[in-house]
Structure 1
Amino acid sequence: MMNKLNSKKWIVAVSGGPDSMALLDMCVKNKVDVVVAHVNYHKRDTADRDESCVRNYCEMHSIPFHVIHPKKTTTGNFQAWARDVRYDFFVQCYLNEKADGLLVGHHQDDLIETYLFQKKRNSIPSIYGIAEKTKQGKMLIQRPLLKMSKRDCMDYCIENHVPYQIDESNLGNDYTRNKIRHNIVEKMSQEERKAILKEIKEKNIEKKKIEKKYSPIIKGKQLNYTLIEHEPKEIRLVCLRLWFKQQKRQEANNTKSFFEQLDHVLISRPNYELELNEGLFTCSNRICEIMGNEDKSYKVVLQSIHDFKTPHFIVKAKGLMGVNACTVKESDFPLTIRNVRQGDFIQLRFGTKKINRWFIDRKIPLKDRKNWPVVLNCNDEVILVPGIGCNVEHYSIKPNLFVLKY
């Protein structure tokens, strides 16, 4: 399992729990080149204890150790915010360390729990359970422990004298996932585990077959529902979701009930309209299309600074200091100004900021987000986002580049 990781350098996400500590110790014993990343949210009184556990292990084994202490300053879902902060930090470590990817200690209990959570939400996910390999932008994420149970991870730590800590917030039933974990997953017999893992595998195989078979139908801007209306309902629902995903619509993440309702209408009515979060879903003689979903991407390359105007932004060489200004050097050229993309982030004085998270925090309308300009240097680093500001390396009291969203 671990010998396949030897030839690369990895960031390891380590919380201090038995799963991530077991993963870290396996890497050490197999001489895998690793750098540890730890996030301390200070949400629990024992959070510093967990950090000390990880730090002490790293010092003992001469492993580079990186930690952040983020503070939530906005209202809203803590779990979503925490995940964004966590993975932004992992990406930054990955870039700074020139690593090959990220290792995460998700185990078999997490896989089963995620699948049962998906079933409870009645969702149509990209994958049932948890994928062994995924990507965050260009960063590869690998999960080597998916065949080990949580009990296996704890037993490994005990047998190998690996210190670990228990997150007390996971012991209660405050969240749906915790209820699934304690009331169902932890009480499963080995036979029940094998049965549910077989079910997950079969559902993913079937889903891949559907995606491959119906790919020619769902990859266009229009969806001809007459080509799938006589297929079983489950196939129609998967095709609908995949088509929405192909159109890069956030509705692709909606629950199964959304697609069931839409499918019911499309089967019974040849003509239909539905207002989306942005744009309009239309069906004319069972030909589906999303209006207002046109590709609005743009890209402008600058070899020097000069005043000009586009339909999306204005560039000036003079202006006032603030969130629309930065200082660029000759080594930054050529500059690129384009609209924001998924995964874009900027390094600010107080840490990494995911641009999409800033949109959410500031309640920027969806219609404005696609056209929001960002400025990148020749290394493809975002150095300025109008309305947010510039990164730490391009701030000065005498800025020479000003970009305003038009």
Structure 2
Amino acid sequence: MLEAKVAAFLNHNSYSFKNKKMVVGVSGGPDSLALLHFLWGQRKTYHFSIVAAHVDHMFRGQESFEDALFVKSFCHQNNIPFEMARIDVPELSKKTKKSSQIAAREARYGFYKNIMEKYNYPYLVLGHHGDDQVETILMRLTRGSSGTARAGIPFKRTFGSGFLLRPFLGITKTDIESYCHRHHLQPRIDPSNEKGVYSRNRFRKVVLPFLKSENQNVHEHFQRFSEELNQDEIFLQELTVQKMNTVMTIRKKGKITIDNNRFLEMPLPLQRRGIHLILNYLYNEKPASLSALHTDQILSLVKHPHPSAALDLPSGLKVIKSYDFLSFQFELMTVENYYFELKEPGVVVLPSGTMIKMVVTDQCEMDLNTCCLLLDADQFVFPIKIRTRRMGDRMTLKGMSGTKKLKDIFIDGKIPIQDRDSWPVITDGNDNILWLPGLKKSSFEGIKHPASHYILLTYQK
């Protein structure tokens, strides 16, 4: 009996309908009609409230409108509050360039959210059943889904400001049809459910009967697989978040950078989930073409022996490896060349937000790191020039003879390719390169004899 199986399923999930306020999505088909009738029959026992919500997607003209009138009539006869909307999904699909199925789902779920808010009911209940679960898991495995997507349909998940529930996941389509027959329900049948053009229908008509011929209770095993995979995934996701917090060096809108070496110290299952976390963060809406293959390509990029490499992902996301770092970003910012001059003490703010500050001091005894440069003011040729690099730039390095190309200095310093064109280059009035802030100083720094005053340049990030 359907009632006993649903009660056992809810008990297994430690869930009760007692005192709940629920919106029930009803198409008029067997699954949703049985769900509405079942809940209507249980409402006094568990003291809960329901309202039925129906969407006419306008795919089948008068026929689909009659589905809506059927559900409305059923609710009126049984004194069930009823809400409906007619949404021109074919037109919506054209405007948004989304598939008819995706456009219909978004329209339907959007309406459900509105009804939940209107009634202040925090639960949405839908009629997906055990056969749907089998089909969904097989379809997702077939197309290469990963993570929790492989677990199929969850019994409960967050939805809007409340939750979405599916109490029929423990029963089969046959259980529902028997329930409808026993209670003399005459649901509407959508003819599109018989069309082989939809992949779900092909799984339903071909694959599912074969599995049921092997084991009539196959849906129970798939449901157990779904629950165990979800539980394992929740645990692994928590571990992944903890590890990724120690690996990410940059996290901002449109860009994430990770430390390759620390990332590779993570176990492989956490590496895969770490990549999924990054993609979920960066993509507002994941492209349908994104698959497990892309995860494998990213992992190969991380392990690639060459210090520099790149990978293009769907929707313009780029993955760039540069030495010990891997960056995920949507667009490589075009760097505008800049040029500033300092003729007296002051501060120059660079486009990146970093600053070069100049002061005059009579102190030469100080700790000078790569973010500071001290020059003899008496020997210095003004102005101080702050610019981006140019083709063929070379500089003398402190403590070394001869000159070295800036390109080679950047390579030696493992500076990411995307950062080199915006790196500040400091020169004197004769265009002698004095300093690459935070990286290298030239031989021009050095106090050969005491001077009356000095120029101190500092680089502030």
TM-score by length of 2: 0.58
What is aligned with 1:37?
53
Q: Show the counterpart of 2:367.
A: none
**Secondary structure, in 3 states, of the residue corresponding to 1:11?**
strand
C-alpha deviations, 1:132-153, integer Å up to 9, x for none? 1122331321111111111111
Aligned residue number for residue 84 of structure 1? 106
Which one of 296, 305, 324 corresponds to residue 260 of structure 1?
296
Question: 1:267-306, aligned counterparts within 5 Å?
Answer: 267-269=303-305, 270-275=307-312, 277-278=315-316, 280-291=318-329
Residues 48-67 of structure 1 mapped to structure 2, 5 A cutoff: 48-67=65-84
Note the C-alpha offset of 1:223. 3.0
Distance in 1 between residues matched to 2:243 and 2:110, nearest whole Å: 36
How far, CA to CA, are the matches of 2:160 and 2:310 in structure 1? Answer: 34
- Partner SS for 2:242: helix
- Structure 2 match to 1:103: 125
Match of 2:26 in 1: 14
| Separation in structure 2 between the aligned mates of residue 161 and residue 122 of structure 1, nearest angstrom | 42
Alignment partner of 2:165 out of 120, 123, 142: 142
TM-superposed deviation, 1:239 = 2.4
- Residue of structure 2 equivalent to 1:183: 206
Q: Give the secondary structure class of the aligned counterpart of 1:73.
A: helix
- Residues 326-357 of structure 1, C-alpha deviations (whole Å, 9 max, x = no match): xxxxxxxxxxxxxxxxxxxxxxxxxxxxxxxx
Whole-angstrom distance in 2 between the partners of 1:142 and 1:56: 25
Q: Higher relative CO (CA 8 A, sep ≥ 6), structure 1 or 2?
A: 1
Q: CA deviation at 1:104?
A: 0.9
Change (3 A) 1:228 1:212: same
* Unpaired segments ≥5 residues, structure 1: 294-406
Taking a change above 3 Å as real, the CA distance of residues 190 and 227 of structure 1, as seen in their structure-2 partners, is farther
1 CA distance for matches of 2:283 and 2:21?
33
Q: Report which of the two structures shows the higher radius of gyration computed on alpha carbons.
A: 2
| CA displacement at 1:232 relative to structure 2 | 6.4
Change (3 A) 1:73 1:246: closer
Shift in Å, 1:249: 5.3
SS in 2 for 1:126: helix
> C-alpha deviations, 1:49-79, integer Å up to 9, x for none?
3223211210111111111111132523111
Q: How many residues align?
A: 294
- Of 152, 155, 158 in structure 1, the residue corresponding to residue 178 of structure 2 is 155
Shift of residue 230 of structure 1? 6.3
Q: Which amino acid aligns with 1:67?
A: M
Could you say what secondary structure the match of 2:148 adopts? coil
> Secondary structure in 1 aligned to 2:115?
helix
Of the three residues 234, 239, 244, the one matched with 1:213 is 239
In the alignment, the residues of structure 1 paired with residue 53 and residue 317 of structure 2 have an alpha-carbon distance, to the nearest angstrom, of 40
Q: Which residue is equivalent to 1:244?
A: 279
Alignment partners' CA distance in 2, 1:57 and 1:247:
45
Structure 2: gaps (5+ residues): 1-6, 252-256, 332-461
* Distance 1:134-1:201 versus aligned 2 partners, 3 A rule: closer
Q: Give distance in 1, aligned partners of 2:224 and 2:176.
A: 22
Q: Is the 8 A contact 1:42 1:69 kept in 2?
A: yes
- Paired with 2:65 and 2:35, the residues of 1 have a C-alpha distance of 21
| Structure 2 CA distance for partners of 1:247 and 1:218, relative to 1, 3 Å | farther
Spell out, residue by residue over 1:378-400, the C-alpha distance to the aligned partner (whole angstroms, 9 max, x if none).
xxxxxxxxxxxxxxxxxxxxxxx
Contact 2:169 2:223 in 1 (8 A): no
Give TM-score, length-normalised by structure 1.
0.65
Contact 1:106 1:143 in 2 (8 A): yes
Separation (CA, whole Å) in 2 of partners of 1:203 and 1:271: 37
- In the alignment, what sits opposite 2:17? 5
Task: State the secondary structure of the residue aligned to 2:264.
Answer: coil
Match of 2:192 among 154, 169, 182: 169
Give 1:239's aligned amino acid: G
Residues 42 and 248 of structure 1, relative CA distance in 2, 3 Å threshold: closer
Instruction: Give yes or no for contact 2:240–2:270 (8 Å, CA) kept in 1.
Output: no
Percent identical among aligned pairs is 24
